[in-house]
Amino acid sequence: MTDTIVILDFGSQYTQLIARRVRELRVYCELLPHDASRAEIERLQPRGIILSGGPASVYDRGAPQLPEFLFDLQVPILGICYGMQLLAQQLGGRVAGSPRREYGHAKVWVDRAEGLLADLPDHLHVWMSHGDQVTALPDGFITLAHSDTCPFAAVADPARKIYALQFHPEVAHTPRGLHVLRNFLISVCGCAGDWTPAAFIASTREQIRARVGAERVLCALSGGVDSTVAASLVGSAIGEQLVCVFVDHGMLRQDEARAVVELFQQRLGLEIVAVDARAQFLEKLRGVSDPEAKRKIIGAEFIRVFEQTAGALAHSKPIRFLAQGTLYPDVIESRAPERRAAARIKTHHNVGGLPEDLAFELIEPLRYLFKDEVRAVGLELGLPDQVVYRQPFPGPGLAVRILGEVTQDDLDTLRAADAIVREEIENAGLSREVWQYFAILTPLKTVGVMGDGRTYESVVAVRAVTSADGMTADWARLPHDVLARISSRIINTVRGVNRVVYDITSKPPGTIEWE
């Protein structure tokens, strides 16, 4: 079985970064809510457990606590920030408010270059983010590092393999943080560090074959990176038992439906059934403006179309399984808030948007991968670059890029504007530098002048971001001449638009999509 690390999430803004860093070190990990059951954790047979930071104080009423059974699992534990303070409090130490809060860059001095801090210099530049700190260690603990204001910046109980850090090793502002995490994963937990795309593909194929047997699988195919890699992976495991269904829900980009069908039939050799459901989806969205409602309606309607298609394809035997390209960020952002110390961001159509009476059993081979890991798997499967490096596109499509009710006229307007954004960025040779780029049609109207006449027309926003995995993103610094061409072309050629604005919001605090 693959070496696995469990990360318990206490609500830190950096929790997903911990997972990313562990994966970078070629160790598989899963994020679980802080109140995960013993059965949930033991199912993964973890080699170690990492406790994330969090916004609470350990002594606050109702603050998240460590599971009582955690120390009975007898695996190494690493607590980070709030996780460190929980360990100290529950093992008999003391935690109090810091005399001086630390947020930002700090220097820590290494007292013992062993365990987590083995093979490191006598001082480290780190990132601190805390208002509380440990003031007295539990019995059995030793100090590994300190700072001028934090006497216990890194501590350990070597006998029980419990380690804790007041600083954040997962962020880029801690330059040697990856080394610290490697010491925990490899030296302390004994992980092999051999989780690679090839190893993932081999084990996932075995799991799919064992689960599917002789049954047929319907694959929800959008033509995007996620569903394409999922279809290719499932197809490589079960061959002709797979049939891909491409649903044109009317909210695709310009000429996308035709291009997707051609790609899969001619380049990838997969069996594909194309379904025109444009009128069906548009009718379901009539009068709906709330973004969460739109996502859930689209998710449910996709399933209904798949059920109808499966019935037509079933012949004498029903199709039992539905495969889709759900990714780990979809799962993380869609989790119900009552199961986590952090808030649900938004419902993804293929997670929280699924109907309760789903007629299929789901196969989601990419469910625990980040986007960059999916791309690596796609390359390992031999998919062409034009597929693997295609920019992400949300399942609900242009429906969540039209703010408010979705109408056919608005779809036509946005499609035309979006095509210009994509064409200009690609013509400028920036498509591999920018993670995602698109247009948004806002409900705002502004006064303008065209020729000698007054106009009162719509505002289009342009969004372009850089990112590695979609969990965090920064706005792309597009050249001014590219932005000027985009604005000029949209205003001059797209009817009903007289103003173009550029979004310079990072994620967080914003999300990549506007809805």
- pLDDT for 64 equals 93
pLDDT for res 141 = 97
| CA–CA distance, 259 with 386 (Å, rounded to integer) | 12
Catalytically annotated residues: 81, 168, 170
pLDDT confidence of 2, banded at 50, 70, 90? Answer: confident
Burial state string for 498-508 with b = 16 or more CB within 10 A and e = fewer than 16:
bbbeebeeebe
pLDDT tens column, 244-269: 999 999 999 998 888 888 877 777 77
The contacts found for 69-74 with CB under 8 angstroms, 24 or more apart, are 69/38, 71/160, 73/41, 73/42, 73/46, 73/49
Q: What's the pLDDT tens digit per position in 172-182?
A: 889 999 999 99
The HSE-up count of residue 512 (CA atoms within 13 Å, CB side) is 24
The Cα–Cα gap between 101 and 108 comes to 15
> Tokens standing for 160?
């029980």
pTM for this one? 0.73
**Residues of the chain with pLDDT > 90: what percent?**
67
Please answer whether residues 498 and 448 qualify as being in contact, where contact means their C-beta atoms are separated by less than 8 angstroms.
yes
CB 494 within 8 A of CB 416: yes
Question: What residues pair up with 474 in beta bridges, in sequence order?
Answer: 466
Q: pLDDT (tens digit, 9 = 90+) per residue, 265-301?
A: 777 777 788 999 999 999 999 999 999 999 999 988 9
318, pLDDT greater than 90: no
Distance between CA atoms of residues 258 and 217, nearest Å: 24
Query: Count of residues for the chain?
Result: 515
Per-residue pLDDT band at 99 (split at 50, 70, 90): low
List all residues 6 or more positions away from 132 whose beta carbon is below 8 Å from its beta carbon: 57, 58, 85, 95, 96, 97, 98
Compute the mean pLDDT over every residue in the chain, rounded to the nearest whole number. 89
How many whole angstroms separate alpha carbon 313 and alpha carbon 323? 16
Per-residue pLDDT at 348 exceeds 50: no
SS3 label, residue 433: coil
For residue 335, is pLDDT > 70? Answer: no
